[in-house]
Structure 1
Amino acid sequence: MQKQLRVGVVGTGSAGAQHAIVLANLPGVTVVAGADPKNGIELFDEGKQDSWYIEGSKWYADESDMLEEEQIDALVLAPDPLSIGSTIKASVLAQFDERPTLWERPVGFKPEHTAPVQSIERGTTFSVVTFNRFGVIEQLRQALQIGDVVLGDIVSFDAFMSLSIPPFERKPWRWDQLSCQLPIHLLDHIYDTLMYLGLPQIESVHGVAKYEYLWGRTIDRSWAINLRLGNGAVGSINAVQYPQNKEHLMPLKRLVIIGSEGVIKVSPGEAVFTNNAGEETKFTQSEMVSNNEFLKKAKDELVRFLIEREGYVDTSATHAAAESLVLCDWHWVQNTIGTQGHEKLSPLGCLGDSCNCLKIGNAIVESAAKNVEVKVAF
Structure 2
Amino acid sequence: MNALTGTLDPLTIDPTADSDEPPVVRLNAVTKRFGVTAALDGVSLSIRRGEILGLIGRSGAGKSTLIRCLNGLERPDSGEVEVDGRSIVGLGERELQPLRRRIGMIFQHFNLLSAKTVADNIALPLKIEGQKRAARVARVAELLDLVGLADKGGAYPAQLSGGQKQRVGIARALAARPALLLSDEATSALDPETTDSILSLLKDINRALDLTILLITHEMGAVRAIADRVAVLDDGRIVEQGPVWRVFATPRAATTRSLLRAFQPSLPAALVARLVPGRGRRTVLKVVVVGDQAREPLLAELALAVGARASLLHGGVDTVQGRAVGALFLELDGRNETSFAAALEFLRQRASEVEALGHVVDDD
TM over 0.5: no
**Greater helix fraction, Structure 1 or Structure 2:** 1
Q: Which has the larger radius of gyration?
A: 2
> TM-score with structure 1 length normalisation?
0.24
